[in-house]
């Protein structure tokens, strides 16, 4: 085994993977600033696709939300409409705690969703309750949100895991309605 060849390759791989994952703070200086309370206050809609573990689209999904802001909390009523499935309704209460922290509760979340907010980037993780799924009652959902420069479009990438394995991913585009 020639360590003069293997060692630089291994070092390069370690360096590449360590640089590949950006921290939320890397988005601090972006011009567009996401205010989740303001964005989800009022009406928004989304469209997107659920994807298999292999990245293949499995079903289209749309949502319609109406948010009402009171005392710094946005109360959101959200209808999720999968193409081939049963519609689902979710009620949220979302609050920005400080400049970089957001938390929320929802009708199908166990406990609180907690997240970090920097510039145009917002991420959070929570335990999602499943309905009628036999022995599996919860999954872990992580969402990564990016406000586009127009201030009216929010791209969201959701990753759903069970026992640490990716089960489904969802790509969505939310738009603010007038």
Mean pLDDT taken over the chain: 84
pLDDT one-digit tens code per residue, 118-127: 999 999 999 9
**Quick one: average pLDDT of 58-67?**
94
- Alpha carbon of 105 to those of 56, 117, 144, 148, 163: distances in Å? 30, 17, 17, 25, 23
DSSP-derived pairing of the beta strands 101-106 and 88-98: antiparallel
Residues 124 and 103: their CA atoms lie apart, in Å, by 9
DSSP string computed for 20-43: HS--GGGGTT-SS---HHHHHSEE
Q: Where residue 6 falls among pLDDT bands split at 50, 70, 90? A: very low
Do residues 64 and 77 lie in contact, with contact meaning Cβ atoms separated by under 8 Å?
no
CATH topology of domain 24-176: Lipocalin (2.40.128)
CA dihedral 72, 106, 165, 143 (to 10 degrees): -30
Collapsing DSSP states into helix, strand and coil, what is residue 72? Answer: coil
Q: Where residue 8 falls among pLDDT bands split at 50, 70, 90? A: very low
Token digits for 121? 């980037």
- Alpha carbon of 90 to those of 79, 80, 86: distances in Å? 6, 8, 13
Q: Where residue 172 falls among pLDDT bands split at 50, 70, 90? A: very high
Q: Where are the domains of the chain?
A: 24-176
Residue where the block lists tokens 């799924």: 133
Q: Where residue 178 falls among pLDDT bands split at 50, 70, 90? A: confident
Residue where the block lists tokens 């166990």: 110
């Amino acid at each position: 085994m020639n360590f003069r060849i293997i060692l630089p390759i291994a070092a390069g791989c370690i360096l590449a993977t360590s640089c590949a994952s950006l921290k939320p703070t890397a988005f601090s200086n972006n011009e567009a600033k996401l205010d989740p309370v303001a964005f989800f206050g009022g009406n928004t809609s989304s469209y997107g696709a659920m994807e298999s573990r292999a990245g293949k689209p499995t079903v289209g999904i749309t949502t319609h939300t109406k948010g009402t802001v009171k005392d710094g909390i946005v109360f959101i009523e959200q209808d999720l409409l999968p193409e081939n499935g049963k519609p689902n309704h979710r009620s949220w209460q979302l609050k920005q705690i400080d400049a970089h922290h957001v938390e929320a509760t929802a009708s199908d979340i166990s406990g609180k969703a907690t997240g970090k907010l920097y510039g145009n980037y917002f991420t959070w993780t929570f335990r999602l309750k499943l309905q009628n799924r036999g022995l599996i009652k919860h999954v872990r959902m992580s969402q990564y949100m990016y406000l586009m420069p127009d201030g009216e479009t929010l791209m969201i990438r959701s990753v759903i895991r069970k026992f640490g394995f990716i089960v489904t991913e969802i790509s969505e585009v939310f738009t603010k309605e007038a």
